């Protein structure tokens, strides 16, 4: 018969309970994301020794492409290379080896989401417009977009640009903040815009267009402020007197305007050919 010493008994009592499968899955994603961030930091540090002109050019578009390229490269390296950092953290916490699994799928296909990867040369237009698949998805809603634009007095090009940025034209897209559909409406905004079924493309586009129109009116027709409020909320824009100093919002406004220029140029070309 053995008798536990007080120290042993205390150690057993405080030993952490083993993680269930759901918790392990969350932990796996967390350690892999951490490794990806670490790789991203290394890439950014190395990038400081390379002239801007060497890759993407010294311009706003070049800066955005550079950032997106580094982000996706970091994810790719972390997913496909055995750096050992994620595995070390996972084993330290669980005592098990890191499962050989990819990151969970995102809300929309990773090769189509406009803020996460660099569009491939084969699908990107000369002015960094939407990829072919994304353009086809958005084009499927042309009639609804034209109707919504006419009703609320906005250009269809602007609506398309917002859709491209928000959801890449994926009808059932859902964000981590529970924004839904083509124009990524949260439930409270959808309800205030009279949207009863946020997954219905027509209702979603009409609701998003109505809200965008309200933001334009609220900020005196200032497009930057209206787009920033669509992303971060009107209170944040009012507080900062314009685009708030959030990296996500600044990139969001820039991306919408980039797509807007593409769609406006496309409309001009279409009118010239007709």
Give catalytic residue positions: 166
- Interatomic CA distance for residues 84 and 272, integer angstroms: 57
Q: How many CA atoms lie within 13 A of 209 on its CB side?
A: 23
3-state secondary structure at position 180: strand
**Lookup result for tokens 């406004």:** 253
- Interatomic CA distance for residues 177 and 232, integer angstroms: 12
3-state secondary structure at position 18: coil
Closest to 118 in 3D by CA, of 67, 164, 163, 69: 69
List of long-range contacts for 244-249, beta carbons under 8 Å, 24+ apart? none
Tokens (6 digits) for 112: 């189509």
Q: Residue 174's beta-bridge partner residues? A: 180
- Interatomic CA distance for residues 133 and 168, integer angstroms: 9
Residues with Cβ within 8 Å of residue 196, at least 6 apart in sequence: 203
Tokens (6 digits) for 254: 């820039």
**Lookup result for tokens 């409270």:** 188
**Residue 70 in contact with residue 122, Cβ under 8 Å?**
no
**Residue 223 in contact with residue 93, Cβ under 8 Å?**
no
Torsion of CA 194, 200, 203, 207, to 10 degrees: 80
């Amino acid at each position: 018969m053995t008798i536990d010493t007080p120290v042993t008994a205390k150690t057993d009592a405080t030993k952490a309970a083993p993680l269930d499968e759901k918790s392990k899955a969350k932990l796996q994603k967390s350690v892999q994301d951490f490794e990806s961030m670490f790789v991203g930091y290394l890439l950014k540090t190395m990038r400081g020794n390379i002239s801007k002109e060497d890759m993407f050019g010294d311009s706003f578009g070049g800066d955005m492409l550079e950032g997106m390229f580094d982000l996706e490269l970091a994810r790719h390296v972390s997913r496909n290379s055995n750096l050992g950092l994620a595995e070390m953290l996972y084993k330290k916490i669980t005592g098990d080896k890191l499962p050989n699994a990819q990151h969970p799928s995102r809300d929309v296909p990773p090769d189509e989401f406009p803020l996460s990867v660099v569009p491939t040369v084969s699908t990107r237009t000369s002015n960094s417009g939407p990829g072919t698949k994304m353009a086809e998805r958005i084009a499927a809603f042309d009639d609804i977009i034209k109707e919504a634009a006419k009703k609320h007095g906005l250009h269809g090009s602007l609506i398309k640009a917002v859709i491209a940025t928000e959801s890449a034209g994926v009808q059932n897209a859902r964000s981590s903040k529970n924004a839904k559909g083509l124009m990524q409406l949260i439930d409270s905004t959808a309800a205030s815009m009279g949207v009863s079924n946020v997954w219905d493309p027509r209702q979603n586009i009409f609701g998003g267009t109505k809200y965008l129109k309200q933001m334009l009116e609220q900020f005196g027709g200032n497009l930057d402020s209206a787009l920033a409020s669509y992303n971060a909320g009107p209170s944040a824009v009012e507080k900062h007197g314009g685009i708030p100093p959030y990296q996500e919002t600044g990139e969001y406004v820039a991306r919408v305007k980039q797509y807007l220029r593409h769609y406006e140029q496309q409309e001009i070309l279409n009118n010239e050919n007709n």
